[in-house]
């Protein structure tokens, strides 16, 4: 068979359990983290642009 001989290979500990690329949960956490970072960056730059005062020429 092409699959693993035992499930012992997939008993991850530590951060591998949450962000391992071999499990669906790990892949999902990677995607959610990436989307979260993108959303935070967009919100940061939107709020930063609103706080800058516009200078009008006299």
Residue 51 has what pLDDT?
60
For residue 18, the model assigns a pLDDT of: 81
Per-residue pLDDT tens digits for 10-54: 677 888 878 888 888 889 999 999 999 999 999 999 988 766 566
Three-class DSSP labels, 29-58 = HHHHHHHHHHHHHHHHHHHHHHHCCCCCCC
Please indicate, yes or no, if residue 19 is contained in any of the structural domains. Answer: yes
Residue 56 falls inside a structural domain: no
Phi, psi (deg, nearest 5) at residue 16: -65, -30
Residues spanned by the domain of 40:
7-51
Q: Is residue 30 part of a domain?
A: yes
Q: How many domains does the chain have?
A: 1
Distance in Å from the first CA to the final CA of the chain = 79
């Amino acid at each position: 068979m092409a699959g693993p001989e035992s499930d012992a290979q997939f008993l991850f500990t530590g951060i591998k359990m949450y962000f391992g690329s071999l499990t669906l949960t790990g892949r999902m956490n990677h995607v959610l983290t990436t989307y979260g970072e993108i959303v935070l960056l967009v919100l940061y730059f939107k709020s930063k642009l609103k706080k800058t005062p516009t200078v009008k020429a006299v």
